């Protein structure tokens, strides 16, 4: 077991510890509102005492968001051991047997957290079933842009945090979490919390982040961005100069910050 993958922290005095038990669960600001963020399978969720209309209030340590989830979307942390591995590919299946011809019993997104308790051939046993070992890892990635490129073509989804749909801040969050770096999941907070701010005339480098009001993008190279955006309704590459002009022309203003993360050169 890799202790680096254990979830810690609490939410308030005497908080109950749960984990997300659905492939993807919506986190809401209020039970009667739509999705604010999404949580992936296996993520820690510390519960407060509030329960209402089939929802419970708590805090996600991974997204650093508090909110409401459906009661059926989480299970007590005591129901399983601490997670040992993450899904390391875009998505995978859990199978009923260690055989790719056996029925699949679950579909899981990139970064879902699981407990591996054994192996049989090319498959690993988890609490959900048998998953191809090659699809799992107990290590961290080194280059967040390479991780972000896993999401190329994934549909844009407001508040989304998974391979089935995500938004601009969800893409940044997933890439940094895969590298073992803490990251809030809101672009405004990301702009304040991440990296060192650079002067406007600094040449962009791979791994830099460009921010606008309400938007963020990865720099792939000195001429190209990768971002989940509503213009393409997908995670897409876009020339930096074209993106800057387009975003300003559509009324969303100029770049508000150019940030460089530690270790990016």
CA distances from 13 to 10, 49, 56, 90, 185 (A): 8, 10, 16, 37, 24
Q: What is the pTM of this model?
A: 0.91
pLDDT per position as a tens digit, 106-130: 999 999 999 999 999 999 999 999 9
H or E stretch covering 193 = helix 187-193
How far is 169 from 185, CA to CA, in rounded Å? 6
The pairing of beta strand 74-76 with beta strand 16-20: antiparallel
Please provide the average confidence, as pLDDT, over all residues in the chain: 92
* Cα 200 to Cα 223: distance, rounded to the nearest angstrom: 15
Is residue 13 pLDDT above 70, yes or no?
A: no
- Report residue 263's pLDDT band, with 50, 70 and 90 as the boundaries: low
| pLDDT confidence band for 15 (50 / 70 / 90) | low
Which of 10-19, 39-48, 167-176 is predicted with the least confidence, judged by mean pLDDT? 10-19
CA distances from 210 to 76, 188, 239 (A): 39, 12, 13
pLDDT for the residue numbered 262 = 84
Query: How far is Cα of residue 211 from the mean position of the Cα atoms in its chain?
Result: 18
pLDDT surpassing 90 at residue 11:
no
pLDDT tens-digit profile of 198-212? 999 999 999 999 999
- Residue 243 or 50, more confident: 243
Spell out the residues 6+ positions from residue 236 whose beta carbon is closer than 8 angstroms to its own: 152, 153, 226, 227, 229
pLDDT at 161 exceeding the cut of 70: yes
Cα–Cα distance, 135 to 245 (Å, whole number): 39
């Amino acid at each position: 077991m890799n202790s680096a993958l254990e979830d810690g922290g609490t939410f308030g005095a005497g908080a109950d510890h749960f984990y997300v038990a659905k492939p993807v669960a919506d986190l809401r600001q209020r039970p009667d509102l739509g999705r604010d963020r999404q949580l992936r399978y296996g993520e820690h969720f510390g519960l407060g005492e509030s329960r209402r209309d089939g929802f419970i209030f708590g805090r996600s340590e991974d997204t650093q968001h508090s909110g409401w989830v459906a009661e059926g979307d989480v299970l007590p942390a005591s129901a399983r051991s601490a997670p040992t591995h993450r899904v390391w590919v875009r998505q995978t299946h859990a199978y009923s047997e260690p055989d790719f011809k056996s029925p699949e019993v679950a579909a899981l997104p990139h970064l879902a957290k699981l407990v591996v308790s054994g192996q049989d051939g090319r498959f690993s046993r988890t609490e959900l079933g048998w998953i191809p070992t090659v699809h799992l890892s107990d290590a961290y990635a080194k280059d967040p842009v390479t991780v972000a490129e896993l999401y190329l073509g994934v549909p844009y989804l407001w508040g989304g945090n998974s391979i089935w749909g995500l938004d601009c801040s969800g893409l940044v969050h997933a890439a940094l979490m895969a590298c073992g770096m803490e990251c809030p999941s809101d672009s405004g907070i990301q702009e304040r919390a991440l990296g060192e701010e650079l002067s406007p005339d600094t040449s962009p480098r791979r791994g830099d982040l460009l921010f606008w009001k309400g938007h963020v993008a990865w720099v792939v190279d000195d001429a190209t961005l990768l971002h989940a955006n509503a213009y393409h309704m997908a995670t897409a590459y876009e020339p930096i100069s074209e993106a800057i002009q387009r975003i300003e022309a559509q009324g969303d203003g100029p770049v508000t910050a150019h940030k460089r993360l530690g270790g990016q050169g």
